[in-house]
Amino acid sequence: MTNIVTVDLEDWFHVCGVSALSREHWSRLPSRIDDTTRWLLDALDAAGIRATFFVLGWVAEHHPQLVTTVRDAGHEIGSHGHHHLRAYDVRPDEFAADLRTSVSALKAVGVTRVTSFRAPEWSINERSLWALGALTQEGFEMDASMAPVRLVGSPAFPRHPHVRQTPSGMITEVPPLVADRFGQVMPVGWGWGLRMSSPRRVLRSIEDMNRSGHPAVLAVHPWEFDIDPPRVRLPAALHFAHYFRLDGFRNRLQSILKEAMFGPLSSLAVPQPVA
């Protein structure tokens, strides 16, 4: 069973809802994305893995060479939007406009086809399901924005790839890996949940998922591999999501990548629509 590795290609300051890190400051903040992404590319290469990179359009505009390097290394390119907007914070027309701007920025650096999307901060949830229709309208075939956990998504969301019907067509939804731990649903495939878990624990969750007939989906960001990340004051939940246990994460991720089979989103068998 081939599992999936996804990367949200963004800089450390692409955080939603923090005024000190709002869009007008981005060009002045010290970028860290080149070194951290290059480390990740080497780690994927060492493990023989091709992944899917959800690239922020703004990053494609400001670091065109980096995006070309990612693509030339054989990875797939999807969209992470252009200005890192949460779907439920914007109107449908703003969402669609941002999506189109991101696709144009990706095409401008030579990406020929963009058919997969991940919303910033897992922001497609019950408040913003209309966004799936906007994606199919724009020709997207896969979305990976719905997290089956509380706070950002819902534990009621399916945990495996599935097809969703929208007014403008069908789209395959590819949720990230979760596991039941300590009486709650834990994001074992991304963020603090992935960083706090031992490689053995993560691999066991991947095996459990595979035994049930489904691939496990991991999600990482380049800034999680920064050994000395710039520190900014963030609200408590965001602080935890961004800074909790970065220490040693490079080694832990490498151990996981070595021990299971991984590929990009296109290696997914297309799931059948749920009747």
Phi, psi dihedrals of residue 262, rounded to the nearest 5°: -135, 150
Q: How far is the CB of 196 from Zn ion (least distance, A)?
A: 20
CB of 46 to Zn ion, least distance (A): 25
Instruction: Tell me: does residue 120 bind Zn ion (CB under 5 A).
Output: yes
Dihedral of CA 166/172/174/175: which sign?
positive
> Crossing angle, helix 130-137 and helix 92-108, to 10 degrees?
40
Question: Smaller CB distance to Zn ion: residue 145 or 206?
Answer: 145
Separation of alpha carbons 133 and 171, rounded Å:
8
Place of tokens 């819902």: 154
**Quick one: CA dihedral 37, 38, 41, 43, positive or negative?**
negative
With CB under 5 A as the contact rule, the residue among 6, 8, 102, 172 that binds Zn ion is 8
- CB nearer to Zn ion: give 128 or 209: 128
176 interacts with Zn ion by CB under 5 A? no
Question: Computed over its alpha carbons, how large is the radius of gyration of the chain?
Answer: 17
| Cα–Cα dist 83/214, whole Å | 32
Q: Give the binding range for Zn ion (CB under 5 A) out of 116-124, 193-201, 202-210, 230-238.
A: 116-124
b/e burial code for range 15-37 (CB count within 10 A of at least 16 → b): beeeeebeeeebeeeebbbeebb
Beta carbon of residue 8, minimum distance to Zn ion (angstroms, whole number): 4
Could you tell me how far CA 246 lies from the centroid of its own chain?
17
- Minimum CB separation from Zn ion for residue 56, in Å? 7
| Shortest CB 10 distance to Zn ion, Å | 5
Select the residue whose beta carbon is closest to Zn ion and give its number.
120
User: Least CB distance from residue 144 to Zn ion, whole Å?
Assistant: 12
Rounded to whole angstroms, the Cα distance separating 226 from 209 reads 29
CB of 100 to Zn ion, least distance (A): 18
Instruction: Name which position in 3, 7, 10, 122 contacts Zn ion (CB under 5 A).
Output: 10
Candidates 10-18, 26-34, 126-134, 169-177: pick the segment binding Zn ion (CB under 5 A): 10-18
Give the nearer residue to Zn ion in terms of CB position, either 80 or 164.
80
Considering only the stretches 9-17, 101-109, 189-197, 258-266, report the one whose residues sit in contact with Zn ion under the rule CB under 5 A.
Answer: 9-17
Stretch in the footprint of Zn ion (CB under 5 A) among 4-12, 85-93, 107-115, 161-169? 4-12
Of 8 and 143, nearer to Zn ion (C-beta) is: 8
Element (H, E) at 184: strand 184-186
Binding site for Zn ion (CB under 5 A): 8, 10, 120
